[in-house]
Structure 1
Amino acid sequence: MCGIMTRGTASTPRVSAAFRWSSRAGYAALGWALLYGGFGLVATLTGTAVFHRAGEPLPVGLNWIIVVVAASASVSVLAAVRPWGRRVPRPVVSVTLIGLCVLTGAAAFGLLMDLVTLIFAQSVDNWTATVNRATAAIGVVLLIATTRVYRSSGACVRCGAVHTSPTVRTRPEPTPAPPRVRMLAYAGAAAFLPYAAMKTTWALGGTFAGVSGAQALATMERNGASGVMLTLERWGVDATVLLAALGVFLIFGLVRPWGQVFPRWTPALRGRRVPRWLPLAPALIGAATLAPYGAVGLVYAALGTSGAITVSRGDFPTPEDALLVTWIGLGAFAVYGIALAVAARSYLRRTRPICAPPGAAAAGVSNR
């Protein structure tokens, strides 16, 4: 049941479903805020840097940002779920919660890169920074849930409508994304083709941008690539190309009906509903990482190409070779990241649960 359905007797107060949802999400966010604030405080008092840039620790004093954000989150979520919060203007609480979502999202930036590094190198650049990003990512989810319920103002937290009678939650029929969203998704997938061609050329021993396959392999070894990653490279398979293929599979699933109901080629699951979080979790993490990372990289590449800044050649023979690889790699990240964000938003809207009267919901199920 959802909406403003209530339960109780004439002698007991009735609590709306929206309020129960708000309380659960809010108290979960409160628990996260206390944990996150404690993490930041301990790191500060022990002199452990939490924030890093390009592998280098930033000043420990920046850790106080975590403590301030966590304290603000604690007060804000309590204002959203406790009776005394009604004395605070709703716009103030809403804007504060949204701002906290943005700040924690920024703190979680780079988590996808950490996960990729962990998979292929069995380690990360800095475990403290990774724990911070993972904890911040959890906070983003909890704060968004709290904000969403609080802003619903008594409406159903699932469908957004105000119900005056009992309802049952149902799932909408699988539908493809609108044509424009599908075209953007296909463009995002196609953006990986030059990247895959470049990386596969090196994996097969060829030369691209002045770097041979042997040189690329030596660079990977020097940078601490795992044995699995190096073995795949020697077999002519680049691990990041495999990840790109998974990314293409993900974005196709977001825009096609088989991303909502398991298709026939999944024997044990076919016909079952795909849990919404299954594609949305990696999609949102990927979009939040790749889109800004790629966009900033493209600005850097554009400035380097125009001569406004000096580009380091790194492991490449010339700065021009380094720029070529930058355009290919970060261009793919930017286009795919933006397309992934749009596809995820479309999927979120198309799979949003529908609230219907119990009789209508039962009839809908029997007619399928």
Structure 2
Amino acid sequence: MATTSTSPQRDDAGTVARGGWTDRIGYLAAGCTALFGLLASAWVIIGHGYPFGAADPDGEGSLLWRVPAGVAAPVFALLLLGAAVTALAIAGPHAVRLRGAPRIALLGYGWLVVTGLLLVVPDVQVLTYAGYAPMLIGGLPFGWPPVDYSELFTWALGYKVFSIVTGLLLARAVLSWQFRTAGACPSCGRRAGAATWTSAESATRWGRWAAYTAVVIPVLYAGTRFAWGLGIPLGITEEFLDEMHDSGLVWAGVGLGAFGVVGAIATLGLVQRWGERFPRWMVGLAGRRVPIKLAVIPASLVAIAITAGGLALYGQPELSEELGGGSLTVIPMLLWPLWGFALGAATLAYHLRRRGACGYC
């Protein structure tokens, strides 16, 4: 009796050729990068509208603050339109096939643009607003905090969020093509003789170290902010602490510290049993398996925001002055890039450990 195979067909280069979301995501990445590139082109043509760096009121918290708009906008346009063409060329099972140096060059270009979209364009503002979100949303019905929301949620912030979305789509498209041209499954990257570090057993080991690193750093940061809330001038002068209490700024720091502690607890779920099955006290969900994406998607977004925000701190002009004074307003935040990378690694390990069989290959 004849049988029908459900495994994907492979061409003579050993690459997978089968339709699906993995194949279509390249087209979506091409559309988003093209839209972003056209916006950048419009900034160049009309001479204004560039929203990042020095053109942004919050631009001093960005790696782009030293780059003039007249230089940055054309570079944005060229890189993004080039990335759109690249994403279109590598999309789907009929994507361009390259080997050797051309393949490495195309991958290098793709990952360069991804890095810029995910870690250079976003800045401290994205991370700060993510930390303030519970206070802003919870206090909105009560008119607290007394802020103008139209001044907080600006076009610049929207572009930064769109940059993250576009970067993630492009990253997935580039990664799928990288897998495909290496003779692996374009969805999960599995292939015969693959590196053992991606196995569930190996991911369990190195993922534990990454998770614990991602727990310690925010707790250290929160400790300084909680001390200030209690009136302890840890690493700062009493005059500065009094100013923060008088202005209420200290409670914003306490809120961010609390957000960091909650995030640290959630990070433990990446290596604990309750991160795989809902605990007993969660009525209606107790004992059920935690959907992998429910943990991976939020953790990945937070890891990107933390890494981008941490890297942006190194571009701030007042950083060296505050470091010279040994200020604890800055020193704990210098570890944020390490925190972001560790959280990203722990999230990847969680995914590798729980992913099971690939529905594509």
Q: TM-score, normalised by structure 2?
A: 0.70
Counterpart residue type for residue 171 of structure 2: I
Could you tell me which of 277, 282, 287 is aligned with 1:266? 282
Q: Is the 8 A contact 1:77 1:146 kept in 2?
A: yes
Distance in 2 between the 1:291 and 1:106 partners?
A: 7
1:156 positional shift: 3.0
The alpha-carbon deviation at position 243 of structure 1 amounts to 0.6
1:253 pairs with one of 269, 284, 293 = 269
Partner of 1:340: 343
CA deviation profile, 1:284-324 (whole Å, cap 9, x unmatched): 33333434654776899xx98xxxx6x159xxxxx63x523
Aligned length: 316
Aligned to 1:97: 110
Q: How far is the alpha carbon of 1:259 from its aligned partner?
A: 1.8
Structure 2 match to 1:73: 83
Partner amino acid, structure 1, of 2:51? V
Task: Report matched runs for 1:277-288 at 5 Å.
Answer: 277-288=293-304
Alpha-carbon spacing, 1:87–1:289, altered in 2? closer, same or farther (3 Å):
closer
Q: Is 2:68 the partner of 1:59?
A: yes
1:188-267 equivalences under 5 Å are: 188-208=214-234, 209-211=236-238, 214-220=242-248, 233=251, 238-267=254-283
What is the percentage of aligned positions where both structures have the same residue? 22
Q: Which residue of structure 2 lines up, in the alignment, with residue 109 of structure 1?
A: 122
CA change 1:238–1:123 in 2 (3 A) is farther
**SS at 1:192 equivalent:** helix
2:175 to 148, 155, 166: 148
CA shift digits 1:324-347 (9 cap, x unpaired)? 3322x3155355334313312211
Preserved contact between residue 29 and residue 166 of structure 2 (Cα < 8 Å): yes
Residue of structure 1 equivalent to 2:212: 186
| CA distance, structure 2, for counterparts of residue 118 and residue 298 of structure 1 | 24
Q: Which amino acid aligns with 1:50?
A: P
Q: Take 1:197 and 1:177, find their aligned partners in 2: how far apart are those partners?
A: 30
Q: Distance in 2 between matches of 1:291 and 1:33?
A: 22
Residue 51 of structure 1 deviates from its aligned partner by 1.3
5+ residue gaps, structure 1: 7-15, 164-173, 222-229, 314-318, 358-368
Q: Which has the higher contact order (CA 8 A, sep 6+)?
A: 2
Going from structure 1 to structure 2, the CA distance change for 1:298 and 1:92 (only over 3 Å counts) comes to closer
Q: Give the unaligned 5+ runs of structure 2.
A: 11-15, 60-64, 137-146, 193-199
User: Are the aligned partners of 2:37 and 2:81 in contact in 1 as well (CA < 8 Å)?
Assistant: yes
Q: Structure 1 residues 214 and 18, CA, compared in 2 at 3 Å: closer, same or farther? A: farther
- For residues 67 and 126 of structure 1, do their structure 2 counterparts lie closer, same or farther at Cα, with a shift above 3 Å needed? farther
CA distance in 2, matches of 1:204, 1:32: 47
The separation in 2 between residues aligned to 1:338 and 1:116, in whole angstroms, is 18
Counterpart among 350, 354, 358 of residue 351 in structure 1: 354
SS of the residue corresponding to residue 269 of structure 2 reads helix
Letter in 2 for 1:341: G
Which of these residues, 310, 317, 330, is aligned with residue 326 of structure 1? Answer: 330
Aligned partners of 1:216 and 1:155: how far apart in 2?
55
Matched-pair contact (CA < 8 Å) for 1:200–1:241: yes
RMSD in angstroms over aligned alpha carbons?
Answer: 4.1
Residue in 2 aligned with 1:11? none
For residues 195 and 70 of structure 1, the distance between their equivalents in structure 2, rounded to whole angstroms, comes to 36
User: What's the offset of the Cα at 1:25?
Assistant: 0.7
Deviation at 1:104, TM superposition (A): 1.8
Q: Tell me which amino acid in the other structure corresponds to 1:85.
A: V
Q: Find the aligned partners of 1:274 and 1:17 in 2 and give their Cα distance.
A: 31
- 1:267 offset after TM fit, Å? 1.9
Letter in 2 for 1:343: A
